[in-house]
Structure 1
Amino acid sequence: MTRKETSTRTDRRSFLKATGGVAAAAGLAGCTGALQSSSSYPSEQVEMIVPWSAGGGTDRTGRKLANLAGEHMDTEFFVSNQTGGSGSVGFNAIANADPDGYTVGVTTVEICTISHLGIAEVNPEDLTSVMQYNFDPASLTVPEDAPYDTVEEFVQYAKDNPGEISISNSGIGAIWHLSAAGFAQQAGIDVKHVGYDGGAPATKAVLNGEVQATTASAAEVAGQVQDGPLKTLGVFGDERVSIFPDVPTLKEAGYDFTMGAWRGLTVPNDTPDERISQLHDAYKSVYDSDDFKSFMDENGFGTVYRDTEEFSSFMDSEYDRFADIIESLDLN
């Protein structure tokens, strides 16, 4: 399934690419209408909509961005949590906000899955990207005494014992389930997927012997791995993660597969390009700061930067990839 891109978004991407993300005010006269001149922006607070509950990873990273962004733009940023519907309530709130540069969404991987799952219609086409700032790859974690010590041995065991291995996840249709299912398809193995209400109970299920493995972010299993009951065989990223520097990636094990949770920033469609550029530059300055990098590293959040156009293309490719995986799992 390939999603059709609108001419509006295509024109926006071409414009940003050609100008390096900075639009001349004169060229925006036709699309800004009654909006204030660029010299007066920003003249009020910027709301950052977080589609997930307070205290979670998306909320915490969003609040850190908000706290620091005000140092790079002459205004305050504040977070509002608009939750429900696997993120769809918040995503719709972002999409339906006034396109004036005063609403920014902290957008997560679920924007690329929920329409395929039949949860809501909102998808990346309803938003315009600003930048990506995070990627947390899935990790394959098993009991310390499991009869396999590498991804290759795990795959071989699964092939020798089809259907015997059960992999827990944070909920059927959630990113860790899709990561495990995508890897199983790539590796050609037959495994069972068992959904739990979150990453913590999914990890506990491995400890209790209810399942033989789990897929979650490295940060979610770090405590159990470092203390010994569990071991992580591989991470689903392009690079190893800092908290598990000795754990190889799937690519190192011979499987060209990456997947995980990610977070980025979006605005409503038709937000003027110049304001998108100003927002991007402020958030990029935050991303590059020692304060933000330390916060992300100390809390186990991976940092990945994609600019406005790169993030838009990335969301498009993710949307199409998840369509194929979800269709193959008959989840929609």
Structure 2
Amino acid sequence: MRKMISSLLIIIAILALVGCGKSNETSQPEEEVDFPTKDIKVIVPKDPGGGTDIVARGLVEYTKDKFDKNIIVENQPGGGGVTGMVQGAEATPDGYTLTMTTVELAILPHMELSPVTYENFTGIVSAIADPASVIVPSDAPYDTLEEFINYAKENKGLKVGNSGIGSIWHLAAVAVEDEFKLDFNHIPYDGGSAPAVAALAGGHLDAIMVAPGNAKSQIDAGDLKVLAVMSEERLDSFPDVPTFKEETEMDFTVQAWAALTAPSDVPEETLNILSEAFSETLNDEEFQDFLIKQGIEPVQYGPAETQKMMEEDHKRYGELMKEIDL
């Protein structure tokens, strides 16, 4: 009997020691991630001066003081944005190379023009989701969308600029062309919207279909005018410009977003540090005012919303491109 009691006491003691070990193990605080320990690079897959570049540099400018290391913006245009996005997707997933991916990420794979999709990236934040619009020279012989459409029907081959074949602005123009049975001469400009805006202002094009904020300085100067926007509602920054839905029966929205992302396998702890810092910037009134002054409608999308937007648009534009046979 005594031997049995002694054995039970030994077993209880061993179990107690094991339990204490587990308790001490679980109570130890998680080791903090030391990030960043070197400069962070943000790849912008477009030329300097366009909407994506403006948003990226603004986001960096208003976030840089939150880190004790530099954040360096590097423009890597080419291939409608594919060059920079591929470089970002293939970067080491350690949080030190980020990419300002654009909506073309949801379009070009369906045209077999890009080997990367939203699945190659992890969303951090998105500060912009701007709608397309019809922008023409201020001295053009049309002042409304209806007049532009009628003119285009009578004058086939209007030169409409875009930011590259398969870009969101090209898709917007093709959708309008398809809806109203028009015949545009699509002129691609690689490197984002800036070259197309410059070409329109220089008299080399008849129209472009980009976000109005991309041409704000030329619009403010009276060189260009906006006829309509492809959004559900009028924009706060351009309250006098009607929507397509108001002017026609075309209930269609096209928005261009720019999302700050990391490679898909970035550690969760690093992603949390990045998203916390950049999300704080999105809610900074000074940063929002900066975007508004550029004619950009700010949004505040965190990691989950950004990833959802990228995934949903990948599916949406894939279906749209089948409908318009692009």
Could you say which TM-score interval applies, normalised by the shorter chain?
A: 0.7 to 0.9
Contact 1:117 1:173 in 2 (8 A): yes
One-letter code of the match for 2:308? S
Larger radius of gyration: 2
Residues 102 and 181 of structure 1, relative CA distance in 2, 3 Å threshold: same
One-letter code of the match for 2:160? I
The equivalent of 2:313 in structure 1 is 318
Normalising by structure 2, we get a TM-score of 0.75
Tell me how far 1:258 sits from its aligned partner: 1.6
Residue among 65, 73, 87 paired with 1:79 = 73
State whether structure 2 residue 152 is matched by structure 1 residue 122: no
In 2, the alpha carbon distance for the partners of 1:225 and 1:88 equals 29
Tell me how far 1:171 sits from its aligned partner: 3.3
Contact 1:138 1:179 in 2 (8 A): yes
In 2, the alpha carbon distance for the partners of 1:77 and 1:210 equals 37
Contact 2:94 2:267 in 1 (8 A): yes
The equivalent of 2:58 in structure 1 is 64
State whether structure 2 residue 162 is matched by structure 1 residue 169: yes
The equivalent of 2:225 in structure 1 is 231
Tell me how far 1:257 sits from its aligned partner: 1.6
Unmatched segments (≥5 aa) in structure 2: 1-24
Equivalent positions of 1:28-107 (< 5 A) are 39-45=32-38, 47-52=40-45, 55-57=48-50, 58-73=52-67, 75-107=69-101
Normalising by structure 1, we get a TM-score of 0.74
Contact 2:44 2:75 in 1 (8 A): yes
The equivalent of 2:250 in structure 1 is 255
State whether structure 2 residue 186 is matched by structure 1 residue 194: yes
State whether structure 2 residue 274 is matched by structure 1 residue 282: no
Residues 102 and 196 of structure 1, relative CA distance in 2, 3 Å threshold: closer
Stretch of structure 1 that moved more, 53-62 or 279-288: 53-62
In 1, the alpha carbon distance for the partners of 2:88 and 2:138 equals 44
Q: What is the number of equivalent residue pairs in this alignment? A: 295
The equivalent of 1:270 in structure 2 is 265
Q: Deviations over 1:13-60 (max 9, x none)?
A: xxxxxxxxxxxxx99xxxxxxxxx651331413523314356333334
Contact 2:76 2:83 in 1 (8 A): yes
The equivalent of 1:10 in structure 2 is none
The equivalent of 2:293 in structure 1 is 298
3-state DSSP of counterpart to 1:116: helix
In 1, the alpha carbon distance for the partners of 2:86 and 2:31 equals 27
Identity of aligned residues (%): 34
Residues 80 and 184 of structure 1, relative CA distance in 2, 3 Å threshold: same
Q: What RMSD over aligned residues (CA atoms) do the two structures have, in Å?
A: 3.3
State whether structure 2 residue 203 is matched by structure 1 residue 219: no
The equivalent of 1:21 in structure 2 is none
One-letter code of the match for 1:111? L
One-letter code of the match for 2:182? D
Unmatched segments (≥5 aa) in structure 1: 1-25, 28-36
Tell me how far 1:140 sits from its aligned partner: 0.7
Tell me how far 1:203 sits from its aligned partner: 4.9
Residues 84 and 152 of structure 1, relative CA distance in 2, 3 Å threshold: closer
Residues 178 and 75 of structure 1, relative CA distance in 2, 3 Å threshold: same
3-state DSSP of counterpart to 1:128: strand
One-letter code of the match for 2:56? G
In 2, the alpha carbon distance for the partners of 1:229 and 1:101 equals 42
In 2, the alpha carbon distance for the partners of 1:53 and 1:168 equals 16
In 2, the alpha carbon distance for the partners of 1:208 and 1:93 equals 33
Tell me how far 1:183 sits from its aligned partner: 3.2
State whether structure 2 residue 176 is matched by structure 1 residue 183: yes
In 2, the alpha carbon distance for the partners of 1:248 and 1:176 equals 19
One-letter code of the match for 2:41? M
One-letter code of the match for 2:90? N
One-letter code of the match for 1:288? N
Stretch of structure 1 that moved more, 240-249 or 219-228: 219-228
Contact 1:140 1:233 in 2 (8 A): yes
